[in-house]
Amino acid sequence: MADEKKGCSEIVAEIANHIAQITPGPWHWSGNVDYDDPGLCAWGKFGRTSVARMIPVERRADDWRIRDLDDIPEDQRQGVIDGFLVDENGIPRSDLRLAFSAGEKMRPARDLAVYEVCREATERSDPRVYRADIVGLRNPDAEFIAAAPGYVRSLLEIISDLQNNGPVSSS
């Protein structure tokens, strides 16, 4: 991430390196709110591609919303779980989740988590992940979005220095 203590060349190189890893732009918002939620998109060689959007993800039996069923009589718990997982026609229920482009497909953000307690872990089921708090996402586009305000601040400082003091050293 951009840092005020870095020199102009370092900041520009860091931003250029990050941009080289992300989905090529320009990015734009797209969608039709009558049918879908808007998504952050880009035009690619195969047409419009998603950078970030909400996607349906099937519900799972380990979902936090059905973990604590102590107040439900034991003989009714399986029915509650089944009703949570599938509708009255047997069709699996899903929820919309934030997802990012991962090559040819979208991956839910929760599957890209960098866990605060074990940054090397790539899955919540890893025994080293005793708490699910995250500090980032393993996706160049998500990382760039998070870093962008710092980059803009650093670039604005460089521009301000140039306007006030003329060219600065590239260190």
In a domain, 138, yes or no: yes
In a domain, 48, yes or no: yes
pLDDT of residue 171: 55
Q: List all residues 6 or more positions away from 135 whose beta carbon is below 8 Å from its beta carbon.
A: 114, 115, 116, 119
Q: Provide the domain limits for residue 114.
A: 8-160
Read off the tokens for 133.
């708090």
pTM for this entry: 0.77
In a domain, 88, yes or no: yes
Q: Is residue 43 within a helix (H) or strand (E), and if so which, with residue range?
A: strand 39-44
Task: Name residue, tokens 């390196």.
Answer: 17
- How much is the mean pLDDT over the chain? 89
In a domain, 135, yes or no: yes
In a domain, 101, yes or no: yes
CA distance 127 to 120: 12
In a domain, 117, yes or no: yes
Higher-confidence residue of 169 and 54: namely 54
Q: Contact, 158 vs 6, CB < 8 A? A: no
Domain count of the fold of the chain: 1
